[in-house]
Amino acid sequence: MRVAILAHEQFPGQAKTALGILRYADYDVAAVLDRDTAGDRVNDYVPDVQDAPIVESMDALADDDLDALIIGIAPIGGGLEESWRDDIRTALESGCDVISGLHHFLSEDEEFSTLADEHGCELQDVRKPPEDLTVSQGIADEVDAEVILTVGTDCSVGKMTVSMELARDARDAGYDAAIIPTGQTGIMIEGWGNPIDRVVSDFTAGAVEEMILEKGDEHDYLFVEGQGSIVHPAYSAVTCGILHGAMPDKLILCDEAGREAIHGYESVSLPPIQTYVDLYEDLAAPVSETETEIVAGALNTADLDDEAAREAVDAYADDLGAPAVDVIRQDTDEVLEALL
């Protein structure tokens, strides 16, 4: 599938979804749309991902045979920026699908839905949960696959990245491993999945279980993309629902070096690592016959130099009493050995 990724005025720093797609998705990326950096190339900013030209607008891609335009940024609040409307319109008029993770559903926008109908293309709102979700049956532990869930000390510590990197490395090593996507970027990369943070709260566990049951007998290992943190004042419900819905065999605890408080909730200090280990394991234990253990750690050291990063990962492994890794900078062999 050949795609363009819209990231106006946000590439690369604030374009988490765009970067995730460039790094992990199987799409052929024709271009990134960013009017601020137009003329440059992706690799000028981010060296270790798929390269592509950066262009000003969809008009620059008129002769390209694109399958989809992906909205690769998410402003706070999830609204649609009016300045993106031209690009979306141009895409639809050239018969191109549009894939969006905005809270503002494109399929409910009258102009876009009319255009999509006229030109026979599709508006995919990945943040819109399917209508047929329901409560969990409590049977995710019955699937054949080993279920491995990333859990976090906080939001935005790298759970999605860790899931993606480890699943890829496992596949490279010959294992049959798949991703269970639970958030908008994961869903766009994989092309399917339930946006767990948008489902009805009673269906949180059920929406994860449904995906595990769908894929659990087709693969040997499922890496479930975790969300939030069990000590997050706003998002712990989602975290708890994923833990009980997925009934994982193994957990990877993800952290960011130097983080001391919950992002955006600075009065909530992160408790010691052992508190997280106990909370996640003790909360999982009563619900499933599977014994769920934290067997490895992943540390995001993006803000440190190489030596400080190595030291931080070693200290994290000591704290955890288990192997740990920065999945972007380091070799994941030791952690994979603990997981697979």
Q: How many CB atoms lie within 10 A of CB 321?
A: 12
Task: Give yes or no for residue 26 binding a second copy (CB under 8 A).
Answer: no
The residues in 98-117 that bind a second copy, with binding defined as CB under 8 A, are: none
Q: Which two tokens stand for residue 275?
A: 């508190």
Task: Give yes or no for residue 206 binding a second copy (CB under 8 A).
Answer: yes
Distance of alpha carbon 216 from alpha carbon 222, whole angstroms: 7
Task: Give yes or no for residue 159 binding a second copy (CB under 8 A).
Answer: no
Minimum distance from CB of 25 to a second copy (Å)? 24
State the number of binding residues for a second copy (CB under 8 A): 46
If the CB atoms of residues 17 and 227 are measured against a second copy, the closer one turns out to be: 227
Task: Give yes or no for residue 152 binding a second copy (CB under 8 A).
Answer: no
Task: Give yes or no for residue 283 binding a second copy (CB under 8 A).
Answer: yes
Distance of alpha carbon 55 from alpha carbon 14, whole angstroms: 17
Task: Give yes or no for residue 133 binding a second copy (CB under 8 A).
Answer: no
Minimum distance from CB of 276 to a second copy (Å)? 9
What residue type is 221 in one-letter code? Answer: Y
Give the containing element (helix H, strand E) for 115.
Answer: helix 110-119
From residue 114, give the alpha-carbon distance in Å to each of 19, 31, 84, 103, 225.
30, 26, 17, 19, 35
Minimum distance from CB of 183 to a second copy (Å)? 11
Handedness of CA 150, 153, 155, 161 (dihedral sign): negative
Distance of alpha carbon 154 from alpha carbon 270, whole angstroms: 8
Stretch that binds a second copy, among 23-31, 79-87, 89-97, 263-271 (CB under 8 A): 263-271
3-state secondary structure of 328: coil
Minimum distance from CB of 235 to a second copy (Å)? 6
Handedness of CA 304, 309, 313, 319 (dihedral sign): negative
Considering only 113, 265, 329, 340, the residue that binds a second copy (CB under 8 A) is: 265
Q: Which of 137, 329, 156 is nearest to 235 (CA)?
A: 156
Task: Give yes or no for residue 12 binding a second copy (CB under 8 A).
Answer: no
Minimum distance from CB of 160 to a second copy (Å)? 16
Considering only 48, 76, 267, 307, the residue that binds a second copy (CB under 8 A) is: 267
DSSP secondary structure letters along 82-150: GGGHHHHHHHHHTT-EEEE--SS-GGG-HHHHHHHHHHT--EEETTS--TT-----S-GGGSSSEEEEE
Task: Give yes or no for residue 199 binding a second copy (CB under 8 A).
Answer: yes
If the CB atoms of residues 32 and 196 are measured against a second copy, the closer one turns out to be: 196
The residues in 225-244 that bind a second copy, with binding defined as CB under 8 A, are: 230-241, 244
Minimum distance from CB of 209 to a second copy (Å)? 9
Please report, as ranges, the residues that interact with a second copy according to CB under 8 A.
135-138, 196-206, 230-241, 244-245, 262, 265, 267-271, 275, 278-279, 282-283, 285-289
